[in-house]
Amino acid sequence: MFVVNSKDLKFSNIYTCGEMIGNFLLSEGFPLLGRDGKKMKFARNERLEKVLNHLPAKLNLLRKVGLIDG
């Protein structure tokens, strides 16, 4: 189930990222709230922040240099 019109969600508790990080989060068991093109939206919580702080080296490097959204 997706949130309809997810592009209108601008809440601070929504995390928006690109497909590479989004697919990783899906594989970690995070539910997808919605999509806006290639952007994926997830609920921001403590577990999500913990996983984002410990991303695999490849994703973390690409995220820090700005090659992928996240």
Domain containing 40: what range?
A: 10-62
Give dist(CA 66, CA 51) in Å, integer: 19
- Whether residue 3 lies inside any domain: the answer is no
Kindly state whether residue 1 falls inside one of the protein's structural domains. Answer: no
The reported pLDDT for the residue numbered 25 is 95
For 21, 23, 28, the CA distances from 61, given in Å and listed in that order, are: 12, 16, 19
Q: What is the mean pLDDT of each run of 10 residues along the chain (70 residues)?
A: 56 86 94 89 93 89 80
2 domain residue, yes or no: no
- Do the domain assignments include residue 50? yes
N-to-C CA span, the chain: 22
pLDDT for 23: 94
Q: What is the pLDDT of residue 3?
A: 57
69 inside domain: no
pLDDT of residue 35: 87
Total tally of structural domains belonging to the chain:
1
Whether the full predicted model's pTM is greater than 0.85, yes or no, is no
Could you tell me how many residues make up the chain?
70
- Amino acid 69: pLDDT: 75
Rounded to whole angstroms, how far apart are CA atoms 23 and 14?
16
